[in-house]
Amino acid sequence: MGLKYVCNGASCMCDQGSAPSTLDVSSQNTIVIQEKLMATEDDITFNNPFGNCKIKNNYPCIPDIKTKWDDLSSTVLGKNKKVLLENSELTCAVGGKIKITDSLQTGSKIVIFDNYSPPVVTPLKKEILSVNWKNNDLENEIDSANIGDKVSLVVETKNYNEGETVVIVIDEANGKNIKSNTKLVKFSGEVNADGFAILKEEISIENEN
């Protein structure tokens, strides 16, 4: 496949720094590879740059870039910007040499010349898959209860996060209130790692004339 192109967010390291950084591509916003903006010789900005500088007595790194990248591709983008390759290097005026450690190109060189917009991430739809009545000790599923029995709910969910709260509201049954002077009863509980919420707010079925 040859040398890889460099993408937005590529990992970089300065030989005088104490930590890696990532490249921020801002020189163009129309040309992408694998849904990431392609870097050019004009991209010299780094996110959280390189920790502490050895030359500056381990003070925080403040890159001083006065030149463009070396060892560029012969590929030229709009406005005569040459493309970075994984072996491109950049010299900091303080004395460090910046190299690319991971270009983030993960596949073939399929370059899209178009107006770029990030892929749309559609949130997963949260669903209640089932709601089942359980007896007092949650051991058995029930479909009926007698006056005085205590009941609880077990709810199976989909696309809820662990620890998220589920609320179930039960309306009156067969024209009678579940509890005295109460048309609605609210159960709530947290979703566990298996996607189930155990609603342990037990209620007693009451008789009402």
**Tens-digit pLDDT profile for residues 141-198:** 877 766 667 777 888 899 988 888 887 776 655 545 455 555 556 677 888 998 888 8
- The answer to whether 161 touches 191, Cβ cutoff 8 Å, is yes
- The answer to whether 157 touches 197, Cβ cutoff 8 Å, is yes
Tokens of 113: 């010349």
**Residue 91 scores a pLDDT above 90:** yes
Kindly report, residue by residue over 62-84, the tens digit of the pLDDT.
999 999 999 998 877 767 888 99
Q: CA–CA separation, 62 vs 72, rounded Å?
A: 24
- Residue 208: predicted pLDDT: 44
Q: CA–CA separation, 134 vs 168, rounded Å?
A: 14
E strand or H helix that includes residue 163: none
Burial 10-19 (b: 16+ CB within 10 A, else e): bebbbebbee
Q: Quickly state the pLDDT bin for 58 (edges 50, 70, 90).
A: very high
Q: Quickly state the pLDDT bin for 119 (edges 50, 70, 90).
A: low
CB atoms within 10 A of CB 66: 8
Give me the torsion for CA of 187, 189, 193, 195, rounded to 10°. Answer: 20
Higher pLDDT, 128 or 170: 128
**Residue 113 scores a pLDDT above 70:** no
The answer to which of 22-26, 117-121, 123-127, 172-176 has the lowest mean pLDDT is 172-176
- Residue 42: predicted pLDDT: 93
Q: Quickly state the pLDDT bin for 47 (edges 50, 70, 90).
A: very high
How far is the first Cα of the chain from the last one, in angstroms, to the nearest whole number?
81
**Residue 54 scores a pLDDT above 90:** yes
Q: Quickly state the pLDDT bin for 201 (edges 50, 70, 90).
A: low
- The answer to whether 27 touches 72, Cβ cutoff 8 Å, is no
- Residue 63: predicted pLDDT: 93
* Every domain of the chain and the residues it spans: 11-113, 127-204
DSSP-derived letter for residue 62 is -
